[in-house]
Amino acid sequence: MPVNLSSRPVLLDGATGTWLQDHGLDDGGSGELWNVERPDVIRALHRAYAEAGSQLLTTNTFGGTRPRLEMHGLGERVHELSEAGARLAREVADAHDLLVAGDVGPTGELMAPLGTMDEAEAQAIFAEQIRGLVDGGADLILIETLSDLAEASAAVAAAHEVAPDLPVLVTLSFDTNLRTMMGVRPGDAVRALAEAGATGVGANCGRGPEEMETIVAEMVQARPEGVLLVAQSNAGLPEVSGDTFVYTVGPDELGAHARRLVDLGVDVVGGCCGSTPAHVRAMADQLAVGV
């Protein structure tokens, strides 16, 4: 039977952008377009993580909201590209009895009063993408790398609007001062997003395992009963090596980090930027999941 969120810990996958860049996506390209133009590469991405031990496969749709796609002249293809991304992940997940996390990233727009986007507009933008993810077969919605609680709450509301029966996980990204770009503290994020109706709350991206563990420790103290905790650390920070970037944390170190996160109380663990199937395999070995 497929894994479910009550079987803890649950292992997410690793970086999508790192994989796509390694397979030829340039910095100015739309990874979401590959869901229809290079589907075999996206299938291979999902298979690599499934075979490494991931229990949740994340759709290749991080930049799939209308404002993000409009940067590439693809604003009218929101539903198409998100549905295609979910169907590709669904295909691989079904072959391995796994779940699909429909991935939603930030809009890239500033919320009022710093910007012009209000919560109703943000909710409509997120709902448009989430409809595509649900139509493609996502089992849950993963909203990640947010920094503004108003935007995150709008995304949660959109998920409840479109798919009220699906779990919703939300992760924010924190900097070295243990605040998001908009000044949100880890404990405040957990409390606010739990109140907004998120199934799970946590952190992703960031500067590496050590800071992620500090952030998680604060979240554990603030977590309301019944709310899942989610953590996906970068594989350290990128360093220049010749003409490429190399991340500083290897698979064994990230695997040990995953074990410490679960010991702290994290329920759903994965990797973020720089993490690869090798990193996920090490995490699976440490957590004795997916094997």
* pLDDT band at residue 2 using 50, 70 and 90 as cut-offs: very low
Nearest to 115 by CA among 72, 143, 150: 150
Binding site annotation covers 272?
Answer: yes
CATH code linked to domain 10-287:
3.20.20.330
Break the chain down into helix, strand, coil percent, rounded to 5.
45, 15, 35
Q: Are 235 and 205 in contact (CB under 8 A)?
A: no
Two tokens at 142?
A: 């993963």
Q: What angle do CA 60, 175, 16 make, to 5 degrees?
A: 15
Q: In the prediction, which pLDDT does 28 show?
A: 74
* pLDDT, tens digit, 9 for 90 and up, residues 174-203: 987 899 999 999 999 999 999 999 999 999
Q: In the prediction, which pLDDT does 291 show?
A: 47
* pLDDT band at residue 29 using 50, 70 and 90 as cut-offs: confident
Q: In the prediction, which pLDDT does 246 show?
A: 79
Binding site annotation covers 157?
Answer: no
- Mean pLDDT computed over 116-136: 97
Q: In the prediction, which pLDDT does 10 show?
A: 96
- pTM reported for the whole predicted model: 0.95
β-sheet bridge partners, residue 117: 111
β-sheet bridge partners, residue 266: none
Q: Are 126 and 142 in contact (CB under 8 A)?
A: no
Stronger pLDDT, 47 or 208, i.e. the higher one: 47
CA 141 to chain centre: 9
Q: In the prediction, which pLDDT does 252 show?
A: 96
* pLDDT band at residue 1 using 50, 70 and 90 as cut-offs: very low
Q: Measured between alpha carbons, how far is residue 148 from residues 94, 102, 169 in Å?
A: 34, 20, 15
Binding site annotation covers 96?
Answer: no
